[in-house]
Amino acid sequence: MRTLILGGARSGKSALAERLAAGSGHEVVYIATAQALDEEMAARIARHRADRPAHWHCMEEPLALAAALRAQVRPGRCVVVDCLTLWLTNLFATRDPARLAQERDALLELVPSLTGQVLLVSNEIGLGVVPMGELTRRFVDEAGRLHQALASQCDRVLFVAAGLPLALKGSLA
């Protein structure tokens, strides 16, 4: 089952993904896309690590997400990716539009073929005002297009607000 979990910042989407992973009965692999580029992010990453069960396998992959998923996803395993918007940010930071397109296309090509349980977490950032700057508008557009493409490929799409999940596609169970 492929699940896309969307929500705003601090909405509870990561906590939901972790609960679903813990309840899956499968071995869990956690693919983190964040990079500790400053002290505050390093502290966030440390807090997230401390909150996850010690027996979960964790790997960090800021750019080559499709390759990481290809290597980790298999029947009997639950893979959590947290989060796609940080992954997009990392790709934008490379300042290489070809790399962004290559990695996005590789992910979208791979997702339909994935077996096992996959939980993709991402920030829904398109619910607010239209951003002022060109780069920010481009980022919001990229995230929105990615979410739409993944939603069409996933079996289930959940939206989380105030810690409460809402099934947009499929069911909560």
H or E element: which one contains 122? strand 117-123
The letter for the amino acid at 96 is D
- E strand or H helix that includes residue 59: strand 57-60
Helix (H), strand (E) at residue 104:
helix 97-110
Catalytic residues: 48
* Pairing mode, strands 2-7 and 117-123: parallel
CA 78 to chain centre: 14
CA distance 120 to 98: 23
Tell me which DSSP letter residue 111 carries. G
